[in-house]
Structure 1
């Protein structure tokens, strides 16, 4: 069965991490992936190397794991580049407590901002004031309280913060790739 067209979520990626002996959350690497795709257009091979480095392994243990990790990159790139603006960060979902969801969002922001901070001055000068403001606001996510109760208020707040992170990722990608709603055309017609 091919995983190429299957939408992956947090649990799918976490399962691959567990297969490789890692208990870490995929959220941090997902934040890095978004920033890498926006700022550097990371290749599939470079992404595999990035994940393996993060997991402390030399290479994926089997072809299915490699395919799932590459599918994660492909899925993220397609969502960031889509005109529907349907990108969703890989974060713990409603199966997890709000505290775990908040921790995932905090880790995502840390991974994302770690690479954004490394952007060179030439890139930064091209960013709109809106993007600069959104990225500055994201720093607040690195400080969010994660020891929260499961309450409707906290759920609503967390949803709003997650939406802010989602929009920041799409805005960064869009500004770095002007006029290219689809960066990778897999089935582009040949003339």
Structure 2
């Protein structure tokens, strides 16, 4: 069975982690993945190595697991570079409690920011003021209180914070990859 056209969601990747004996959330690594693809186009081999190290294994358990982990990278790269601007962080969905979803966003943000700590000042200085401000705001998201009551206000706040993280990732990608995605069609 080929997984090339399958859409990978949080539960699919979490299940792949479970196959490798890991109970950790994929959100942290997804944040790292988004930042790494934006900054240095991490190769498929390097990504697989990083995921395996995080899972405490030398290599994926089987070809199907490898295909899921590599498909996750491919899906993220395609979404970051898509003209539709449809990138979505890999986070727990509405089947999870609000505190679990907030924890997922917090972990995603921590992974994303961890990669940014490796960026030199010369690169940071070239970033737009909008990008620098968006990334500064992510510092606050990384330390949000995840012990939330199930309420529509908290639901709306979490949605807004998730949207901010999504936009920051896309802004970083587009600034590091001028012309990608090409959202305006050039005149013939």
Distance 1:181 1:151 in 2: 36
1:159 maps to 159
Tell me the C-alpha RMSD between the 2 structures. 0.8
Contact 2:82-2:180 within 8 A present in 1 as well? no
Distance 2:148 2:125 in 1: 38
Distance 1:180 1:26 in 2: 26
Q: Does 1:113 align with 2:113?
A: yes
1:64 maps to 64
2:16 maps to 16
2:126 maps to 126
Structure 2 segments unaligned to the other structure (5+ residues):
183-188
Secondary structure of residue in 2 paired with 1:143:
coil
Q: Does 1:30 align with 2:11?
A: no
Shift of 1:56: 0.9
Distance 2:100 2:162 in 1: 13
Q: Does 1:53 align with 2:53?
A: yes
Contact 2:13-2:69 within 8 A present in 1 as well? yes
Distance 1:25 1:91 in 2: 9
* TM-score for the superposition, normalised by structure 1: 0.94
Task: Note the 1:90-109 alignment, pairs <5 A.
Answer: 90-109=90-109
2:178 maps to 178
Distance 1:61 1:122 in 2: 40
User: CA offsets per residue over residues 60-84 of structure 1, 9 Å max, x none?
Assistant: 0000000000000000000000011
* TM-score for the superposition, normalised by structure 2: 0.95
Shift of 1:123: 1.3
Distance 2:96 2:69 in 1: 22
1:148 maps to 148
Secondary structure of residue in 1 paired with 2:178:
coil
User: CA offsets per residue over residues 9-68 of structure 1, 9 Å max, x none?
Assistant: 000000000000000000000000000001110000000001011111100000000000
Structure 1 segments unaligned to the other structure (5+ residues):
183-191
Shift of 1:122: 2.2
Shift of 1:125: 1.6
